[in-house]
Amino acid sequence: MTDENIIISKGLEGIYIADTTLCKIDGANGKLWYRGYPIEVLADKSSYEEVAFLLLYGHLPKKEELKVFTQRLISERDVPDSIADIIRNFTGRTHPNDILRTCVSAISAFDTDMADRSSDANMDRAIKLTAKMPTIVAMIGRYRQGKPFINPSRTLSHSSNFLYMLTGVEPDKESAKLIDLMFILHAEHGSNASTFSTLVTGSTLADVYAAVVAGISTLRGPLHGGADEAALNMMRAIGEPDNTETYIEDALAGKQRIMGFGHRVYKAYDPRAKIVYNYLKSFMQKTTDPKIEKLLEIAIRAEKLMEEKLSKTKGIWPNIDFFSGPLYTAMGIPSELFTPVFACSRVVGWTAHLFEYWENNRLFRPLDHYTGQLDIKYVPIEQR
C-alpha cells in the first residue's frame, strides 16, 4: 500500500474489531440491546444479578441458576485484610479510581492457581471481581468520610449491599430500585474505550485481573467514566436553578463543552439517559433535601435548554452521564466515587467481552503511518 492510499481512522472510528452477541447499539435511533433484550425491558423487569448472569453466560437464568449465582456473589463479597491496608495508605493521595485499580491488581495475589487458564477458572475470577469491587469502593468511600468499614450483608441484593456498605443504612425500596437500575444501565455498552483496552490487554493472553485493571484505568478519563463527575461539577458551578439558562448560554457562546451531552455513537437520545431522566423527575417530586432538589432542577432545566439549542438541530443529545451525577448524589454517593461505581457495574461487560474474544483470540497490532524524517545524520554529543 502506498502512502497515498493510507486512511487514518482517528480513534478507530468506523473500525470493527470483532463479532459479538453481547450488545447491539443503534445510535441513529437511540436503541440498545443486551444479548438481544431491549434495555428498557431489562431496566423495568430485571435485576443486576440477572443481567450479570445474562452477559456472562449468554441467557437469562432459571430460578435455580439465579439462586446459585446470587449466593456465589454473596459468598465472594469479603476482601482480604491487605485491601483495607491499601485503602488506608492511598486514600487522600490519589483518586478513588486509582485506589480501586491497585486493589484489583492486589486481589490477583490471592488467586490460588493463576496458571489455571480454563474457562471455569476465568469465570470464577469474573464472579469474584464482580462481587468484591463494590465492597472495595464502599470501603474507600467510608474511609474518605472517616467512618469505620461495614461488613457485607448476607441478605441484601448486589447493588443494595453496596449502598448499605457505603452509607450504613439499608436502602428503601425506591433507592434500592434506583441503584440497581444504575448498575444495569452501566453493565455493558459495546466496544467503548474501556472495553477495548480490556480486550487489547487480554489479547496478549494476560490474565483476567490485568485486563480488568486496564479497563478501570481507561475509565478514569473525563471523556469516558469521569464524564458524570464532570457534569455534576458543572451543575454545582451553576449553583441556583435560576442561573441555569444564563450559564448554559454563556458556555455555548464561548464554545465550551457541556459535559454529559453528545456521544460518539448516539445521534439520538441515549436510551439509558431517557430511562434515568424519568426516574430523576420522579425522585425530584419526593425528595425533601433542598440541596438535592436544586441539583435535580438544574439538571432538568439544562436538559430542556440544550434540547432546544442543540439536540434537535445538531443531534447533540444528553447521555446517561448527565443524569447519573444528580441521582448518585441523591442516594448519598459522593462524586469522587462515580467512576469507581461505574467500574463495579461494567466489570461484567468487560469480562464477558474478554471471554468472547478469547474464543477466537488474535493479538491486537494496528499500524501507524510514519510521517517523520529518515536517515538523519547522527551528531556526537560533543558536537551538538
**pLDDT tens readout for residues 325-374:** 888 888 899 999 999 999 999 999 999 999 999 999 999 999 999 999 99
Helix 338-358 crosses helix 96-107 at what angle (to 10 degrees)? 40
85 is known as an active-site residue: no
Per-residue cell: 272: 439509558
Mean pLDDT of 87-108: 96
pLDDT band at 91 (very low <50, low <70, confident <90, very high): very high
CB 150 within 8 A of CB 142: yes
CB 203 within 8 A of CB 357: yes
- Give residue-wise pLDDT tens across range 110-160: 999 999 999 999 999 999 999 999 999 999 999 999 999 999 999 999 999
- Give residue-wise pLDDT tens across range 240-293: 999 988 888 888 888 777 777 766 777 778 899 889 888 877 777 777 778 888
Among 321, 353, 368, 369, the active-site one is: 321
Instruction: Measure the CA–CA gap between 175 and 160, rounded to whole angstroms.
Output: 8
At residue 38, φ and ψ (nearest 5 deg) are -60, 140
Among 158, 263, 270, 353, the active-site one is: 263
Which of 205-219, 225-239, 255-269 shows the lowest per-residue confidence on average (mean pLDDT)?
A: 255-269
Please name the residues in contact with 31: beta carbons below 8 A apart, sequence gap of 6 or more: 24, 25, 38, 271
Q: Does residue 191 or residue 1 have the better pLDDT?
A: 191
pLDDT of residue 248: 84
Where does residue 201 rank: exposed (0-12), middle (13-18), buried (19+ CB within 10 A)?
buried
pLDDT band at 212 (very low <50, low <70, confident <90, very high): very high
Instruction: Measure the CA–CA gap between 288 and 286, rounded to whole angstroms.
Output: 7
Mean pLDDT of 44-63: 98
C-alpha dist (Å) from residue 61 to 70, 132, 147, 152, 351: 11, 22, 38, 24, 18
- Give residue-wise pLDDT tens across range 67-88: 999 999 999 999 999 999 999 9
pLDDT of residue 311: 64
Q: Does residue 348 or residue 235 have the better pLDDT?
A: 348
pLDDT of residue 117: 96
pLDDT of residue 268: 76
Per-residue cell: 256: 465550551
- Give residue-wise pLDDT tens across range 152-209: 999 999 999 999 999 999 999 988 999 999 999 999 999 999 999 999 999 999 999 9
Instruction: Write 5-13 long-range contacts (CB < 8 A, 24+).
Output: 6/369, 8/369, 11/264, 12/196, 12/366, 13/264
Instruction: Measure the CA–CA gap between 193 and 195, rounded to whole angstroms.
Output: 6
pLDDT of residue 300: 83
At residue 2, φ and ψ (nearest 5 deg) are -80, 160
Q: Which of 19, 18, 10 is nearest to 264 (CA)?
A: 10
Instruction: Measure the CA–CA gap between 364 and 206, rounded to whole angstroms.
Output: 13
321 is known as an active-site residue: yes
pLDDT of residue 372: 94
Per-residue cell: 346: 461494567
Which of 133-137, 209-213, 319-323 shows the lowest per-residue confidence on average (mean pLDDT)?
A: 319-323
- Give residue-wise pLDDT tens across range 58-67: 999 999 999 9
Q: Does residue 304 or residue 78 have the better pLDDT?
A: 78
Per-residue cell: 143: 474511609
Q: Which of 81, 86, 82, 111 is nearest to 98 (CA)?
A: 86
pTM: 0.92
pLDDT of residue 1: 52
pLDDT band at 310 (very low <50, low <70, confident <90, very high): low
Name the amino acid, one letter, at 264: R
pLDDT band at 2 (very low <50, low <70, confident <90, very high): low
Domains and CATH numbers, the chain: 19-363 (1.10.580.10)
